[in-house]
């Protein structure tokens, strides 16, 4: 019998499970601090929903687990939490807007398996539906900044761009409309293949010399956000979509300043992002040590329309739990917890087993996370076990102390041991 999980999927136990559980609690708390409300949607969706035109796109559908159910209906496992959200909003027309929701859940993609690339992974998403204002984009970015700092990731930058601006820059450079997507895809590879690689890719596309030069020129614009935007504004002057893009970014920067998250922002005209549905600001959080991109998102004002026929603006961001853990592993001196249990009660011999249970029951009633021996082992084995799981306190129950209504309490950090009345025990355990 095969004991391992399926390829690209993982069991999490022990320290890893504790770390994941604690990170998810912190992420949830950060999301709620910013007024986002919980949402749960099913893991399975109808294929119609998953494959809606303008949603994930062909590339992602290739990787989507799908099959026919008993009723002959084609269904699949969700590949993200954004498309299900769009379905929910469309099917709840009385939902008060703006709707700020968070969702934390597994998603599945049957893709290549590699370091940090799994077939089942956890996304932590926040989205604001129904607000066209750049305050909302600033909210999701700031909430993500707060969340990452809250879990101990400080060393990152936020790359910011705008699809409108990008469309305009590419058009003004002379790229024919039908080639826009190819050019954006080439630009999007700049992280991996650098500017020279992008130039080589663009050359394959049969662009004119002037067009190529114009693109390279705007890709080279670097500097403070305000300087980059001033340069971009000059280029797109007179082009409505481009001016809108610049205007959106200016408003976004203004709000990010008010929210105190301006210092991590860079405007990066080479950020294009893969997914088809983005329409306005797009953003990507990059860890300066380790795995690179950890969080990304953007505005998608047309996605909900696909499901409801009604134009409803939306913006959001997604944090990948596994990527965050990669960054933490590479940058932090992790001292992972082996147990969440605070105290372990040991019996000196079998006569006091019942008393061990009574002490455990009392401590639990008082809110102390408590465990004790369930295998009727010798004292030395019990103490070995307690030490191996890094429990903070061990309580030793012996006949003599019991006769005085007491037990021994050992602090496993300091190795200090003292006799404590059972009734007082909970006061000594932190």
Strand order in the sheet with 393-397: 370-372, 343-347, 393-397, 406-411, 417-421
Tell me: does residue 13 bind its own copies (CB under 8 A).
yes
**Region near its own copies per CB under 8 A, out of 164-172, 231-239, 278-286, 350-358:** 350-358
DSSP secondary structure letter of residue 350: G
| Contact with its own copies (CB under 8 A) among 54, 57, 116, 130 | 130
**Residue ranges in 64-93 that form contacts with its own copies under rule CB under 8 A:** 65, 67-70, 73, 75, 77, 87-88, 90-92
**Residue ranges in 311-340 that form contacts with its own copies under rule CB under 8 A:** 339-340
Rounded least distance, CB 211 to its own copies, Å: 38
Considering beta carbons, is residue 95 or 199 the nearer one to its own copies? 95
**Residue ranges in 19-58 that form contacts with its own copies under rule CB under 8 A:** 20-21, 28, 32-35, 37-46, 48-49, 52
Rounded least distance, CB 175 to its own copies, Å: 32
Angle at alpha carbon of residue 373, lines to 370 and 378, rounded to 5°: 140
Rounded least distance, CB 167 to its own copies, Å: 25
Rounded least distance, CB 30 to its own copies, Å: 9
| Contact with its own copies (CB under 8 A) among 2, 177, 178, 350 | 2
Q: 68: annotated binding-site residue?
A: no
Q: 37: annotated binding-site residue?
A: no
Is residue 137 within 8 A of residue 282, CB to CB? The reply is: no
Element (H, E) at 146: helix 134-150
Is residue 86 within 8 A of residue 105, CB to CB? The reply is: no
Identify the residue whose tokens are 């099913």. 42
Considering beta carbons, is residue 142 or 167 the nearer one to its own copies? 142
Q: 82: annotated binding-site residue?
A: yes
Tell me: does residue 354 bind its own copies (CB under 8 A).
yes
Other Cβ atoms closer than 10 A to 290: 18
DSSP secondary structure letter of residue 6: P
DSSP secondary structure letter of residue 5: P
**Residue ranges in 358-377 that form contacts with its own copies under rule CB under 8 A:** 358, 361, 364-365, 367-372, 374-376
How far apart (Å, rounded) are the C-alpha atoms in residues 320 and 318? 6
Cβ-Cβ contacts under 8 Å for 382 (sequence gap 6 or more) = 344, 346, 347, 373
Tell me: does residue 412 bind its own copies (CB under 8 A).
no
Radius of gyration over every alpha carbon of the chain, rounded to an integer in angstroms: 28
Other Cβ atoms closer than 10 A to 373: 18
Binding residues for L-histidine: 80-82, 109, 123, 127, 273, 277-278
């Amino acid at each position: 019998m095969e004991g391992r999980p399926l390829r690209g999927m993982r069991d999490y136990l022990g320290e890893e499970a504790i770390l994941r559980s604690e990170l998810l609690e912190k992420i949830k708390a950060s999301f709620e601090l910013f007024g986002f409300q919980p949402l749960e949607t099913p893991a399975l969706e109808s294929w119609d929903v998953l494959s809606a035109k303008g949603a994930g796109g062909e590339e992602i559908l290739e990787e989507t687990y799908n099959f026919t159910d008993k009723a002959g209906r084609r269904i699949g496992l969700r590949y993200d939490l954004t498309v299900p959200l769009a379905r929910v909003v469309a099917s709840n027309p009385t939902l008060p807007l703006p709707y700020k929701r968070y969702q934390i859940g597994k998603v599945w993609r049957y893709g290549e398996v590699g370091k940090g690339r799994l077939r089942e992974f956890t996304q932590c998403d926040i989205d604001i539906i129904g607000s066209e204002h750049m305050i909302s984009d600033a909210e999701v970015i700031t909430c993500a900044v707060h969340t990452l700092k809250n879990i101990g990731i400080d060393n990152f930058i936020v790359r910011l761009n705008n699809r409108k601006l990008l469309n305009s820059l590419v058009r003004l450079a002379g790229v024919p409309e039908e080639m826009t997507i190819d050019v954006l895809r080439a630009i999007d590879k700049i992280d991996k293949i650098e500017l020279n690689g992008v130039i080589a890719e663009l050359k394959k596309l049969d662009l004119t010399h002037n067009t190529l030069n114009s693109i390279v020129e705007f890709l080279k614009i670097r500097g403070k956000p305000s300087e980059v935007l001033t340069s971009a504004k000059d280029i797109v002057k007179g082009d409505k979509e481009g001016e809108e893009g610049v205007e959106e970014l200016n408003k976004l920067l203004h709000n990010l300043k008010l929210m105190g998250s301006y210092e991590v922002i860079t405007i990066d005209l080479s950020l294009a992002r893969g997914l088809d549905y983005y329409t306005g600001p797009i953003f990507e959080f990059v860890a300066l040590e380790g795995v690179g991109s950890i969080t990304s998102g953007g505005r998608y004002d047309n996605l909900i329309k696909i499901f409801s026929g009604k134009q409803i603006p939306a913006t959001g961001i997604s944090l990948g739990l596994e990527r965050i853990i990669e960054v933490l592993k590479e940058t932090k001196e992790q001292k992972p917890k082996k147990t969440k249990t605070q105290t372990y009660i040991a019996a000196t011999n079998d006569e006091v087993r019942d008393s061990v249970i009574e002490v455990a029951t009392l401590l639990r009633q008082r809110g102390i996370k408590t465990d004790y021996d369930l295998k009727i082992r010798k004292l030395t084995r019990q103490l070995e076990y307690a030490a191996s799981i890094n429990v903070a306190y061990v309580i030793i129950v012996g006949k003599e102390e019991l006769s005085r209504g007491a037990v021994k309490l050992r602090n496993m950090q300091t190795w200090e041991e003292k006799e404590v009345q059972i009734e007082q025990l909970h006061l000594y355990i932190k």
